[in-house]
A and B are shown apart, each in its own frame.
Chain A
């Protein structure tokens, strides 16, 4: 499998409080990769390292086959980038911005730019500095898409946008990917949005990658089990129990990962005291939250069962 982005053992320190530590990340070519993480997890820093805006302390970065930062210019020519905040020149109009941007990209498509400008309802003579947040977001997306990139790097592209604008922006991305099979690397903490679009997911927490897998596996593997239990030994189970919560009577809710349907049989081995009542799917947001809680040690996997009356 070829990779559009590959980070190996990437380390970067920013001040005393934040560091990316030995980060490994691989974005398969042609995938839509959701880069999840709480605020401050290091998503934007990772993106800036990928874009060659920051210099890493250690490790390697390869983007579209180009080593970064040595060949960053060649890589950037093939990347469409939407940063988390408006970064454009406020004194230029939309039309002037398009003209300015197009000069740097030999692959710029004036036809696509005109089509998206019309679709997004952006006035050519509007000053960038006077655009609303939604309009500015649309303009940045237009600029990223009109360069016909092989890789789209989107840093919180819909953060703070209203639902209508968000839908427009996401629709533009989906249309582009459907047409070109470009790779999309989309960072966000808006998990529901990622769930609809992404086929790969990577989760970053406090500068560490805590999960990276295909979305289908991520969703299929993390389940909520409703179990009637009396102090079972979770270590002997073939799946990983990420959290346990007492609910009613002797019943507990377990959030587990690495789950497969045939693992129901594992409960038979635990005897009559443990009964699997139900298996529920978790949406991506719930899975994400559980993953973060486990990663941060907020949930002790070895914790003894606390009976509801004792809790």
Chain B
């Protein structure tokens, strides 16, 4: 069953996947012409490291978009048919959902393999000190974990009842509104807890920690 589901998932995602695979492989390679040119002109080692950071951020954005896009594509196919086909199949719903999730994880893994391949190729092409070449695989692994995390988050939202999703989103928007309105309305109001919550969310080990912090293809 899983193979059949994965095959179907690949068929309806393949055009999108080809784009993400291409982008995942290409983004690390973009550093090659830039660094090569830079070495003969204005680029310093610090600039090269910064460029690696920019590439890393681009990869973070790519994997987040890929994870959400795969999730949307994955379930919109079922939603179009009102989930009737899925519900008529003789398979436990939880099992079906976990197979779908596993299939999506595999697709995200493919994008990360492309990122790793692109990073390794870029590292091989560039004439850089060995200390600057340590990150392609680590970056791809981090992208993998971040991709899985973002996808799981989106999947949980989609799988949950709409009213629950609505309440969660409403609470998030309310917090943002409070952060914006409260200081304007009451200058003395204490809103220091809001940035603290934000920091806790994105701190290493926090629930959104994997998405924050330093993404870098080339680093020291």
Does B172 reach chain A (CB closer than 8 Å)?
Answer: no
Interface string of A68-89 (1 = CB under 8 A from B): 0000011111010101011111
Given A83-B84, A86-B81, A88-B85, residue A104 in contact with residue B91 (CB < 8 A): yes
Given A89-B12, A99-B7, residue A104 in contact with residue B82 (CB < 8 A): no
Residue of B nearest to A52 (CB): B87
Instruction: Give Cα A102–Cα B1 distance, bound, in whole angstroms.
Output: 9
B187 to chain A, nearest CB (A): 48
Query: Which of the residues B4, B77, B88 comes within 8 Å of A81, measured between beta carbons?
Result: B88
Instruction: Give Cα A284–Cα B186 distance, bound, in whole angstroms.
Output: 75
Say yes or no: A76 contacts B81, CB within 8 Å: no
Does B214 reach chain A (CB closer than 8 Å)?
Answer: no
- Interface 9-residue window, one of A4-12, A90-98, A166-174, A205-213: A90-98
Does A105 reach chain B (CB closer than 8 Å)?
Answer: yes
Residues of B contacting A86 in the complex (Cβ-Cβ under 8 angstroms): 81
Say yes or no: A89 contacts B90, CB within 8 Å: no
Given A103-B4, A104-B1, residue A91 in contact with residue B11 (CB < 8 A): yes
B4 to chain A, nearest CB (A): 3
Query: Which of the residues B11, B87, B88, B91 comes within 8 Å of A92, measured between beta carbons?
Result: B11
Given A96-B11, A100-B7, A103-B1, residue A91 in contact with residue B77 (CB < 8 A): yes
Residues of A contacting B91 in the complex (Cβ-Cβ under 8 angstroms): 73, 104
Say yes or no: B12 contacts A51, CB within 8 Å: no
Residue of B nearest to A140 (CB): B85
Q: What is the interface residue range for chain A against chain B? A: 20 to 34
Residues of B contacting A77 in the complex (Cβ-Cβ under 8 angstroms): 90
Residue of B nearest to A78 (CB): B90
Say yes or no: B12 contacts A83, CB within 8 Å: no
Instruction: Give Cα A91–Cα B90 distance, bound, in whole angstroms.
Output: 22
Given A73-B92, A104-B1, residue A89 in contact with residue B8 (CB < 8 A): yes
Say yes or no: A73 contacts B90, CB within 8 Å: yes
Query: Which of the residues A51, A99, A100 comes within 8 Å of B88, measured between beta carbons?
Result: A51
Q: Is the interface of A mostly helix, strand, loop or mixed?
A: loop
Residue of B nearest to A83 (CB): B84
Residue of A nearest to B80 (CB): A90
Residues of B contacting A266 in the complex (Cβ-Cβ under 8 angstroms): none
Does A53 reach chain B (CB closer than 8 Å)?
Answer: yes
Residue of B nearest to A147 (CB): B90
Residues of A contacting B11 in the complex (Cβ-Cβ under 8 angstroms): 91-92, 96
Does B89 reach chain A (CB closer than 8 Å)?
Answer: yes
Of B5, B81, B92, most buried by chain A (CB within 10 Å of CB) is B81
Does B3 reach chain A (CB closer than 8 Å)?
Answer: yes
Instruction: Give Cα A83–Cα B87 distance, bound, in whole angstroms.
Output: 11
Instruction: Give Cα A230–Cα B90 distance, bound, in whole angstroms.
Output: 62
Interface string of A142-174 (1 = CB under 8 A from B): 000000000000000000000000000000000
Residues of B contacting A102 in the complex (Cβ-Cβ under 8 angstroms): 4
Instruction: Give Cα A75–Cα B87 distance, bound, in whole angstroms.
Output: 12
Given A99-B4, A100-B4, A103-B1, residue A87 in contact with residue B84 (CB < 8 A): yes
Residue contacts A-B, CB under 8 angstroms, 28 given: A73-B92, A74-B90, A76-B88, A76-B89, A77-B90, A79-B88, A83-B84, A83-B88, A85-B81, A85-B82, A85-B84, A87-B84, A87-B85, A89-B77, A89-B81, A90-B80, A91-B11, A91-B77, A96-B8, A96-B11, A99-B4, A100-B5, A100-B8, A103-B1, A103-B4, A104-B4, A104-B90, A104-B91
Which A residues contact B (CB, under 8 angstroms)? 51-53, 73-77, 79, 81, 83, 85-92, 96, 99-100, 102-105
Given contacts A83-B84, A104-B4, 15 further A-B contacts (CB under 8 A): A52-B87, A73-B90, A74-B90, A76-B88, A76-B89, A85-B81, A87-B85, A89-B8, A89-B77, A89-B85, A91-B11, A91-B12, A100-B7, A103-B3, A103-B5
